[in-house]
Amino acid sequence: MLKKGMGDPSLIILTKDIGIKDSLSYEEISVQILDRQVQKLRTKEVASVKVLWRNQFVEEATWEAEEDMKK
């Protein structure tokens, strides 16, 4: 059976001290395009790019639509 833990109050950090907004959102910034692929659907082709984001590792890169990245 688990016992109730007692937290250390000295480890609590106020959100105003680290600059987190109330919405808890942040903007991802692309750093580099790692790869490109074209997927053929029935009547059209959709281009995708593998994007490396700031503050993330290469393993965490994501495939995004090329049109979305041009915006």
pLDDT tens-digit profile of 12-71? 777 666 666 677 777 888 999 999 999 999 999 999 999 999 988 999 999 999 999 887
Report yes or no on 2 lying in a domain. no
How far is Cα 50 from Cα 30, in angstroms, rounded to an integer?
10
Domain interval for residue 54: 27-71
Q: For residue 25, what pLDDT is reported?
A: 75
Report yes or no on 34 lying in a domain. yes
Confidence (pTM): 0.60
Report yes or no on 9 lying in a domain. no
Report yes or no on 56 lying in a domain. yes
CATH number of the domain residue 48 falls in: 2.40.50
Domain count, the chain: 1
Report yes or no on 8 lying in a domain. no
How far is Cα 65 from Cα 1, in angstroms, rounded to an integer?
49
- Which run of H or E residues covers position 45? strand 45-53
